[in-house]
Structure 1
Amino acid sequence: MASSSSPASITTGPSPSGSRIGRPPQWTVSRSRKLARLYLYTTLSIEKIIKVLEEDTFKPRKNSAQKTIHKMLDNDPRYLRPESRIEMAKRINNLCMSPTRRRRPGRPSVKASPSQLAALEFPDVGGQRLNGGHRKGGNLSVAEASTPGSSHITGDAPWFEFVSPVSTSNPPARHTKLPAAFRGQVEQSIDATDSSQTDLFVQEVKRRISDCSSHYAAQISTLVEEFTIVETSEEESSARRPSVALSEVFMPEQHVDPEPTPEAFEAFPEPGFALPGDFLSAHTRNCADFPGQQHGKRDCWCSIAEETSAGENTWLAAKGELSERAKHAIKHLPLIDASLRDSFGNTLLHVLAALEGQQDTLLRMVISSNVENLKAVNTGGQTFLHILHFEWFSELSSPSSPLTRLLAHVRNSCPDLVCQTDVYGRNFFHRAHSIARDPRALAGLIFPFEPLLVSGRDAFGFNPVSDSRQGRDGLYIPPRRLGSLSPPIERLAKPNRGGSWPTSSADEGSFLAYHARLVNVIQSSYNNPNAEDPEGRNGLHCLAEAILNQQTMDRHVQVQRGVLATASSTASSPSSYPFSRPHLKRKLTDSITEVYPLSPGVTSGASSPSPQTPPAEEGSLPTRLRHLQGLLHPSVNVDVHHYDRRGTTPLMAFIEHISDDQDDKAKTLQTIIETLIRAGGPRCVEARNRRAETPLLLAARLGRKVALAVLLEHGANVHVRDVDGRGLLEVLDSEVDSARARSDVSLYARLEACRVLLTGRRDWGVQYKGGIVREWRVRE
Structure 2
Amino acid sequence: MYAIPGDFLKAELFNREEQCAAESPAHAAGLCWCKIADTVVQMQRDWADLPIPVLVSDPNLASRDMFGNTMFHYLATKDAIQDLFLHLVCQALRDRSLPVRNLNTAGQTFLHVLHRSWFQEGSRLEELFQTLRSGGFDIFATDVYGRSFFHIVRLQGSTRFPGQSTDIYRMNRRDAFGMKLMDTRSSPDANDAATHNQTWQRTGTTPPAAFTRLIPRINTQTGAVEDKLHTHADLLRVVVSAVGVDQSLSPNPQHEDSQGRNGFHCLAEVDFCLSPGTPKHGARGHLKDDARSIPQGHNKRKHKDDEEIQLPRTTPDIRRQDYIRGLICAKVDVNQYDKQGNTPLMSFVVNSSDATKYEKEESEIVIKALVQEAGAKLESRNRNGETCLHLAARHGKPNALRVLLELGANPHTRNAQGLGILDVVDNLYDTTEGDEKNNARFEACRAVLTRTADCAVQTPTLIDEWRSHKISKEIFG
TM-score by length of 1: 0.50
Q: What are structure 2's unaligned runs of at least 5 residues?
A: 202-206, 244-250, 284-311, 471-477
**Alpha-carbon offset, residue 522 of structure 1:** 0.6
- For 1:733 and 1:345, locate their aligned partners in 2 and report how far apart those are by CA, in whole Å: 31
Determine which of 387, 392, 396 is the counterpart of 1:703: 396
Determine which of 45, 49, 69 is the counterpart of 1:346: 69
Closer, same or farther: CA 665–637 of 1 in aligned 2, 3 Å = closer
What does 1:526-565 align with in structure 2 at a 5 Å threshold? 526=243, 527-549=251-273, 554-555=278-279
Residue 30 (structure 1) aligns with: none
Paired AA for residue 459 in structure 2: K
On the 8 A contact 1:725/1:771 being kept in 2, the answer is: no
**Alpha-carbon offset, residue 283 of structure 1:** 5.8
Residue 361 (structure 2) aligns with: 667
- For 2:35 and 2:447, locate their aligned partners in 1 and report how far apart those are by CA, in whole Å: 32
Closer, same or farther: CA 343–409 of 1 in aligned 2, 3 Å = same
On the 8 A contact 1:282/1:301 being kept in 2, the answer is: no
Paired AA for residue 6 in structure 2: G
Paired AA for residue 4 in structure 2: L
Residue 450 (structure 2) aligns with: 759
On the 8 A contact 2:20/2:34 being kept in 1, the answer is: no
- For 1:478 and 1:449, locate their aligned partners in 2 and report how far apart those are by CA, in whole Å: 30
- For 1:423 and 1:387, locate their aligned partners in 2 and report how far apart those are by CA, in whole Å: 14
Paired AA for residue 326 in structure 2: G
Determine which of 316, 325, 328 is the counterpart of 1:629: 325
Residue 39 (structure 2) aligns with: 307
Identify the range of structure 1 (292-301 vs 349-358) with the bigger mean alpha-carbon deviation.
Answer: 292-301
Residue 728 (structure 1) aligns with: 421
Can you list the C-alpha shifts for 1:463-500, whole angstroms capped at 9, x where unaligned?
11233xx4969x963428535875632xx265xxxxxx
Can you list the C-alpha shifts for 1:328-379, whole angstroms capped at 9, x where unaligned?
x525543336443111000111001112223222211111112653321000
Residue 424 (structure 1) aligns with: 145
Closer, same or farther: CA 487–769 of 1 in aligned 2, 3 Å = closer
**Alpha-carbon offset, residue 539 of structure 1:** 0.5
Secondary structure, counterpart of 2:208 in structure 1 = strand
On the 8 A contact 2:268/2:344 being kept in 1, the answer is: yes
Residue 375 of structure 1 pairs with residue 92 of structure 2: no
Determine which of 215, 223, 243 is the counterpart of 1:505: 223
Residue 330 of structure 1 pairs with residue 330 of structure 2: no
- For 2:467 and 2:403, locate their aligned partners in 1 and report how far apart those are by CA, in whole Å: 22
- For 2:398 and 2:36, locate their aligned partners in 1 and report how far apart those are by CA, in whole Å: 33
Residue 232 (structure 2) aligns with: 515
Residue 651 of structure 1 pairs with residue 373 of structure 2: no
Residue 378 (structure 2) aligns with: 685
What does 1:341-490 align with in structure 2 at a 5 Å threshold? 341-370=64-93, 373-395=99-121, 401-414=123-136, 417-437=138-158, 439=159, 441-442=160-161, 445=162, 447-467=164-184, 470=185, 477-479=194-196, 481-482=207-208, 488-489=214-215
What does 1:229-378 align with in structure 2 at a 5 Å threshold? 272-281=1-10, 284-285=13-14, 286=16, 288=18, 291=21, 292=24, 298-310=30-42, 314=43, 316-317=44-45, 322-324=47-49, 326-327=50-51, 330-336=53-59, 338-370=61-93, 373-378=99-104
**Alpha-carbon offset, residue 284 of structure 1:** 3.2
Residue 170 (structure 1) aligns with: none
On the 8 A contact 1:277/1:346 being kept in 2, the answer is: yes
Paired AA for residue 142 in structure 2: T
Closer, same or farther: CA 518–424 of 1 in aligned 2, 3 Å = same
On the 8 A contact 2:390/2:421 being kept in 1, the answer is: yes
Closer, same or farther: CA 284–550 of 1 in aligned 2, 3 Å = closer
On the 8 A contact 1:296/1:303 being kept in 2, the answer is: no
**Alpha-carbon offset, residue 295 of structure 1:** 5.2
Paired AA for residue 404 in structure 1: E
TM-score by length of 2: 0.79
Paired AA for residue 404 in structure 2: L
**Alpha-carbon offset, residue 393 of structure 1:** 0.7
Residue 336 (structure 2) aligns with: 642
Which structure has the greater CA radius of gyration?
1
Secondary structure, counterpart of 2:279 in structure 1 = helix
Identical aligned residues as a percent? 33
On the 8 A contact 1:459/1:690 being kept in 2, the answer is: yes
Residue 620 (structure 1) aligns with: 316
Paired AA for residue 638 in structure 1: V
Secondary structure, counterpart of 2:194 in structure 1 = coil
Secondary structure, counterpart of 2:53 in structure 1 = helix
Can you list the C-alpha shifts for 1:280-330, whole angstroms capped at 9, x where unaligned?
0156334947643565975432332332232xxx4x318xxx533x21x52
Secondary structure, counterpart of 1:523 in structure 2 = helix
Identify the range of structure 1 (525-534 vs 616-625) with the bigger mean alpha-carbon deviation.
Answer: 616-625
- For 2:76 and 2:360, locate their aligned partners in 1 and report how far apart those are by CA, in whole Å: 50
Q: What are structure 1's unaligned runs of at least 5 residues?
A: 1-271, 495-500, 560-615
Can you list the C-alpha shifts for 1:157-182, whole angstroms capped at 9, x where unaligned?
xxxxxxxxxxxxxxxxxxxxxxxxxx
Can you list the C-alpha shifts for 1:548-596, whole angstroms capped at 9, x where unaligned?
2466983369x9xxxxxxxxxxxxxxxxxxxxxxxxxxxxxxxxxxxxx
